[in-house]
Each structure stands twice: as C-alpha cells, then as structure tokens.
Amino acid sequence: MSNNTQIIPERSRDIGNFLVGRLIPFRKKRMVGPFIFIDHMEPVEVKPGNYADIGQYPHIGLSTLTYLFEGEMMHRDSIGTIQRITASDVNFMTAGKGVVHTERTPEDMRDGKTYPMHGFQIWVALPKNLEEIEPTFQHIPKTQLPKWTKNNIDFTLVAGTAFGKTSPVKVHSHLFMLELKNKEEAIFQSEESLKGEIGICVVSGKIEAEGEIIEEGNMLVSKKANWCSIKIHPNTHILIFGGEPLEEERFIHWNFVASTQAKIEKAKQRWQGDGFELIEGEGPKIPLP
C-alpha cells in the first residue's frame, strides 16, 4: 500500500524493559532493526464501491513485504511482475534504485460479492551499499515457509532467520519476522534465538509484559537486544519482527527511503519528471504529495 501519511501515535510510553506504541514509526522508536514502516491493513470488506485500485507509485531504497491474513490482490510492477497476492503467501519486492507498482482487486473478484481483506504492508530499509541495486520481486507460497509448534504456540517464519530456521525469502540484511498463534495461554521467550532489536505487533487478542496488558493494535519494542519474554493470552495472534539495526540514519518521505536526504530529493525530482519507468496500461501515476 502507498505511504501517503506516516502513522505516528499521539502517545507512547515505557513499561520497564519495553516501549509501547502504535506501530512504526513512532516518536520514541523510528525503526526496529531494518524495519522502518509497518501498516496494519485492518479487516475491511472488498465489494462494489470499495475495490482496491491503487495506481502507479514509486519506491526507492527499501523492500516491501506484503503479508495477508485474508483476501487477495493483484500486484503489477515496472520490472514486468504480474502476481496474484493471496493469504499467507509472502511477497517481497526490493525497490533498490527504483521501481513502480500498482495493487488492485483481481478482476474475477469484482463480481458483486463481498470478500474480506486483512493483512500487513511492511517496509524494510536496504543497507547503504545495496540502495542502488536492481529491483526484484519474490513470491513465496505459504507451503514453503518453515512452521512448527512449541509451548502451545504455532510458529510461522515469514522472513529471515530465527530459532535455527531460515525462511526461503531472500532478504538483504540480518532480520526476522515470525507469525505466532495460540489457543491456550502461553509463554514466549526469545531464548537468544532472535538477534538484534525485537518488536511485537498484537494483531488480535492480548499479551502481557512487565505486568501490563497490551491489547490488539499496539506494538511492543524490547529495550534489550536479543531478548524478549511475554505472556500470550488465549486465542491471540501476533507478529514478532526485528534484527540488527542499520549503521546509518534513514530518511523517509512518502514512498521513498534513503540513507541521505539528497537521494530523497533526487527521487522526488525523478517522479515529477520522467525518471521512473511506468507500467504500460496501468493508467496515470499518483502525483507526488
């Protein structure tokens, strides 16, 4: 999804070993490892009058990770990718020096019926030496993702490396993203198996940390690298993500991420001109805000 506005909460707070807020970026924590933007696409109904039709828009300096819990979407981009995005598959587009894409409701779902849509759109900043690489797109079916059950928790390793396992998604830095679901109360501990900074998004249900209840829609960030311990209440769904932080500050403007403001300004000028290759047949490009 496009980043027309940044989600920055009115309030964030400390609870001992954790920061609590609403997704990233937020005031006290702009990034978690290389993760720089998380957009929770809350459950919606896709139906006549409410189809997804996100026109052509650009990215630089990042990889987008689309992970749906429900629904489907058609992705097209300027490197020739045409991919139907379906629930629980991983779609990882690396923009590098620049890519343009669109996201739309598939034609066969524009049939007058109502369909659910729910998921996350996540941005991972690229290391400085890889910001100018050629754009690529990966589609990894859910059947190829590592899955296991431990301590009453069902795990899916969406991307990166964790607990001795590695996702087939080719990433460009040291990171991890896990999906956890449970039916019974459970304790989650990182056990030194998550390297770097650690964030937790509560998709549904609730978790407990430092004696405080964290409800759905909020995010926790551990203040200790490589460490996390929480109680997960019954019937809860969470995402755990993070990794080693990048060495340099990252700048973000609209859909652009870069290690220097000069690269952001150059991308803005390219988009206002004809510096990005567009997708044939996908209509006009979205103007720079």
At 93-147, the pLDDT tens digits run 999 999 999 999 999 999 999 999 999 989 999 999 999 999 999 999 999 999 9
**183-236 confidence digits (pLDDT tens):** 999 999 998 899 999 999 999 999 998 888 988 888 888 888 898 999 999 999
Rounded to an integer, the average pLDDT of 43-71 is 94
The verdict on 226 and 88 lying in the same domain is no
Reported confidence tier of residue 8, pLDDT bands at 50, 70, 90: very low
Q: Work out the mean pLDDT of the chain and round it to a whole number.
A: 90
Characterise 138 by phi-psi region: left (phi > 0), alpha (psi -120 to 50), beta (else).
Answer: beta
Two tokens, residue 64: 């987008």
Total domains present in the chain: 2
Task: Decide if 32 contacts 221 (C-beta within 8 A).
Answer: yes
Which residue, 117, 104, 105, is CA-closest to 45? 117
Calpha distance 150→287 (Å, rounded) = 48
The verdict on 213 and 229 lying in the same domain is yes
DSSP track, 157-194: EEEEEETTEE-SS--SSSEEEEEEEESS-EEEE-TT-S
Calpha distance 171→130 (Å, rounded) = 11
Whether 289 is covered by a domain: the verdict is: no
The verdict on 132 and 59 lying in the same domain is yes
- CATH code of the domain covering residue 218: 2.60.120.10
Whether 18 is covered by a domain: the verdict is: yes
Whether 181 is covered by a domain: the verdict is: yes
260, amino acid identity: T
The verdict on 69 and 93 lying in the same domain is yes
pTM: 0.90
Question: Sign of torsion, CA 171 81 37 165?
Answer: negative
Calpha distance 233→213 (Å, rounded) = 9
Whether 284 is covered by a domain: the verdict is: no
The verdict on 233 and 261 lying in the same domain is no
**63-89 confidence digits (pLDDT tens):** 999 999 999 999 999 999 999 999 999
49, amino acid identity: G
Which residue, 95, 76, 104, is CA-closest to 271? 95
The verdict on 228 and 257 lying in the same domain is no
* SS3 category, 128: helix
The verdict on 23 and 66 lying in the same domain is no
Range of the domain at 135: 35-140+251-275
The pLDDT score that the predictor gives to residue 115 is 95
The verdict on 151 and 118 lying in the same domain is no
The verdict on 108 and 229 lying in the same domain is no
Over the Cα atoms of the chain, what is R_g?
A: 19
Whether 4 is covered by a domain: the verdict is: no
The verdict on 39 and 29 lying in the same domain is no
Tell the burial category of 70 from Cβ atoms under 10 Å away from its Cβ (0-12, 13-18, 19+).
middle
The verdict on 207 and 179 lying in the same domain is yes
The verdict on 123 and 58 lying in the same domain is yes
Two tokens, residue 105: 């409701």
